Each structure stands twice: as structure tokens, then as C-alpha cells.
Structure 1
């Protein structure tokens, strides 16, 4: 038997959902006579009745209801396949390590499931705002306002607050900023991060000596192990806080002058780059 037209099948599935010819016509933005014509042609092709009249309304026959239960999911599959653009080729991303580890890595399978033909490579820069020669296809960078190239898209702002293993502070918020400095402070890149936070929070003007890390994930690992207090944020610390490995130990949150931006490379964006950008913005 030839496969029925998808428009006729959509009309039947919509009729099962709406329960009326009028509602089906409105749902599909066609006339009632067009729906009736499609259903009649579908009945002739299938060889069994689809609807029975009940007063002023209609009702699907039992066999039609079973048929809808079979073809409905198939139509959904066809719709999803039609929406998915078949892409191929390579796509190289340069993604700030905190964003890559905390946000992108747990979700990247969603993009690959939608575009399995894309060969994806994810690089991480050595430092904040490192765009190099912008030879990669796309960048997710943690940039100062003056570092943002024209045409970039802001993804999110960030604020910093102290985090530590719950055992360090007895599972309680510390009473003031000065109390934070009773614990070893863990620094990222330099000691200016804590100096800015302490000054803004009403604590000391200078940060206590402590280990300086170059890698965010290593610093977070030290904080989880109870080696000190680090500055976290809602993006990079979220998973560890939800698992109970870290907790916010002081309520003050210092807005960062940097933000996460999506930046294009210097070459014209490829179809795969456009697809990733659309997926990223939709996910965010």
C-alpha cells in the first residue's frame, strides 16, 4: 500500500487531539472542507472508516484510534528529522576553562546528537581574554569590556563569593568578611581577586598569603578537600554546591568586571559555527 500523505495523517492526529473538525482546521490553519476532504481520501486509501458522526460532532472509530497511536510517534520523528540540519566538517571552539568544565562539558552531547556529522574540537586558552589571532571558529571568553571585539554576544555576567568545604566553617555562614581571613585563602592567577573582594565586603585591604593557582579546577579541588577558601561563582561552583562539596560561606557577592562573551573568529562563520551558536544561545 502506498504511504498516505503526511498532511492527511497530521489532520487525523490533530482530530484525535482536538475532537472536532473545526478545532482541527484551526490547529492546522486550513478550512473545515479541506480537513473533511483529507480524511475522506485517507479513509479510501486505508480501507476502513476513521470517524463516526455523533450529533453535531465526530468521534474516531476504535480502529482509527489504534492507527493514530501508531502513526503519531512516527510523525514526530519525521518532524524532528526535518528540523535537524545535516552538517559535516570540523568546528573548533576556544572556550574559557571554567565555562567549558562547568557548563559546556555536561551538555555538549546535546549538540552532537543534533549534529552528529560535525567533528568538534574544544580548546581552552591559557589566560583570561586570550583570543590569540582568532583563528578558531568560535570563542567563549571571559573578557573585560575593552577586550570585547565588535559583533560579539554577551552570554552571562558573573559575581564572586567565598566558597569552602562545609566542614571548614561548620556548615554555617561566616559573620563578617574579616572572619573569612581566619582561614587559608586560595587564589587564582594572583592575589588581586581576594584583595578586591575583601575591600568591597568591608574586610582587610590586603589578602592573606596563600597558594596561587593557575587552573580553576585545581583550585576548586583544593577547596573541596578543605585546604582553604576560594572565590566561586554561580557558574563554576554550582555543581559542587549542589552536591554538597562546597558551600557559600559569606553572603556578599562581588560583580566581576569580566563577563562571558561569544566571539567569532576572523573567518566567515561556517554553517556548523552558526548551528553551534544557535544551540548555545537556546541552551542558555
Structure 2
């Protein structure tokens, strides 16, 4: 029985991709989707058609005779539809839009001030701030094209590459310097999260131990705000150098430790896997961001 008008085009695209790849995993990677999503689409397609489109083996999947017939009928049409969309979106370079997600502090301080250098006149940019897990979920769901990730993504269908290494520095206001030298753990803390994740990591990396009895007097999930609070003498904190340097240069904050090997955190640029050339705007933005931050 032929597909009805209710048949999902996403399911048909999944069928074509899996048939050509020879496996659900390969088809999912081609589409930039999770294996579970593609499997669900294929199951829905088979229910709609009323017959199996694949024989499943330990080595992958092989189209059934009806599956081969369906592929012959719709494969070319699906390719033509993809090409037509690519041509339509590529008709005017200025119409290319890239949806970029990342931490508010990093994007606002490092990336967006140099927007003209990497976006130029041919890319429109839409930005979403947020925490890395939430943004990666948006990337997986095709709500975002690129995500600046503070952790290494571990999601099927998502590829990534190192973008830059953040260096972290412990900072205190000059008025708290003597107290820090007497007992670092006695100085009040202003922190990003309740568990003091950045500060605890610094203690383990630099001092070789866990902090003992640190007292957080303010929890604010914005490193820019923490920099200001620390400069006002509210408490010490740990900041990436790109945020700390202006305060250090002005003498409003000091680094009481200055370790030989300061802690580093690799920032990644993540995107969905896709066939080469399928997303020229995303390709251009990713290449330019890498070049900009390497320089």
C-alpha cells in the first residue's frame, strides 16, 4: 500500500538515509539525529505502510523487496527536495542565519564584541545564552546550529572540536589579601554555584587538596557579576583570565597565588553532524570562529 498524505517526511528521509548507510547508526549520523529518534521514525513508517522496509541483522539493516521498491520511488525525489531547499536558502548570502548558543559571559566578552570579524556581511546571527547541557539539547533538536560548550559533548550525532583553552585565576580584593595569606579557607567566597565547582577545582589543581570550610556569602550564576563583587571586597572567587585581567590591571583585584601551572578548561564548538556542504552558513561561521580564536 502506498504512503498516505499523513506519512512523515522526516520518516521518509530517515528511511532513505538508513537504506543508503546500511545501518540505523549511519543514517542517524548522516541526519544529525539520535539513533533512538531514527528508529522511532522507521517504526512509525512501517506502521503507516503496513509492511517492513528493512530486514535487521547483527551487521545492520538491508531493505526488503518492498523497501527497495520504495527507495527507488522516493530516493530521487528526496534528493531533489534537499537540493531545492539548499538552493533556496543559498540564493542570497545575506539571508543566511546561524543560531549560536553559549555561556553569556564568554559570548558577551570574547565572541560578540568581534562579531563583524567572523560573521561579516553575509551571516545573520541569533544568540541564545544558557548552561551547556540545555544548549546541547537545543542543538540536538535543531534549535541551534552551533554551541560553545564548556564541556566535551557526548551525544550521538553531535561533533565538536576544541575552540580555545580558558585559563583560570583566583582573585581577591587588596583589602582581603592579608586574610588570605594567613588562611585561604577563611576568606568568604562569591561563587557561581552552590557546590563551588570552579573554586573547588582550583583548590584541587593548585593546592592539591579540597577546600576546608569555605563559606559562600553570595551565589550568582554570572561570572561578570562575581568579578564585580570580588572587586568590591565581598569575597574571593575564581575567574577566567579574560574577565579578571581588566580588574587586575586596574589594581582592583590581585592574584595571591600566581601558580606556575594555572588551571585550564577547554571550550569546544559543537554542531550536528551533516553531509559536507549541507549547511554552508554553519560551516562558514564555525571556520571563522576557529580562525578568530586561534589568532
Instruction: Confirm or deny a common fold (TM above 0.5).
Output: yes
CA–CA separation in structure 2 for the residues paired with 1:207 and 1:197: 15
Aligned residue in 1 for 2:283: 274
Q: Distance in 1 between matches of 2:149 and 2:94?
A: 25
| Cα contact 1:184–1:229 (8 A) shared by 2 | yes
TM-score of the two chains, using structure 1 as the length reference: 0.57
Q: How far is 1:228 from its partner?
A: 1.0
- What stretches of structure 1 move > 6 A for 4+ residues in a row? none
Paired residue for 1:140?
A: 148
CA deviations 1:92-117 (Å, max 9, x no partner) are 100222321221122113234xx324
Whole-angstrom distance in 2 between the partners of 1:225 and 1:123: 30
1-side partners of 2:156 and 2:251: how far apart?
35
Measured in 1, the distance between the counterparts of 2:239 and 2:246 equals: 11
> Is the 8 Å Cα contact of residues 132 and 151 (structure 2) preserved in structure 1?
no
The alpha-carbon deviation at position 181 of structure 1 amounts to: 2.6
Say if 1:278 and 1:263 are closer, same or farther in 2 by CA, change over 3 A. Answer: same
* 1:141 Cα deviation from its structure 2 partner: 0.9
Q: State the alpha-carbon separation in 2 of the partners of residues 147 and 238 from structure 1.
A: 34
CA distance in 2, matches of 1:101, 1:245: 22
Larger radius of gyration: 1
Q: Does 1:102 align with 2:106?
A: no
Cα distance change on mapping 1:203 and 1:219 into 2, 3 Å: same
2:127 counterpart SS class = strand
Aligned to 1:262: 269
Query: Could you list the per-position Cα deviations for residues 119-161 of structure 1 after superposition, in whole angstroms to 9, with x for gaps in the alignment?
Result: 2111111356741131201111101475697531101233433
Backbone CA RMSD of aligned residues: 3.2
Q: What SS does the corresponding residue of 1:235 show, helix, strand or coil?
A: helix
Aligned length: 193
**Following superposition of structure 1 onto structure 2, how do residues 217-232 of structure 1 map, counting pairs within 5 Å?**
217-232=224-239
Which secondary structure state, in structure 1, belongs to the residue aligned with residue 189 of structure 2?
A: coil
Q: How far apart, in 1, do the equivalents of 2:255 and 2:94 lie? A: 43
Q: Distance in 2 between matches of 1:199 and 1:140?
A: 26
2:192 corresponding residue in structure 1: 188
Q: What is the SS of the residue equivalent to 1:226?
A: coil
- C-alpha separation in 1, matches of 2:230 and 2:129: 22
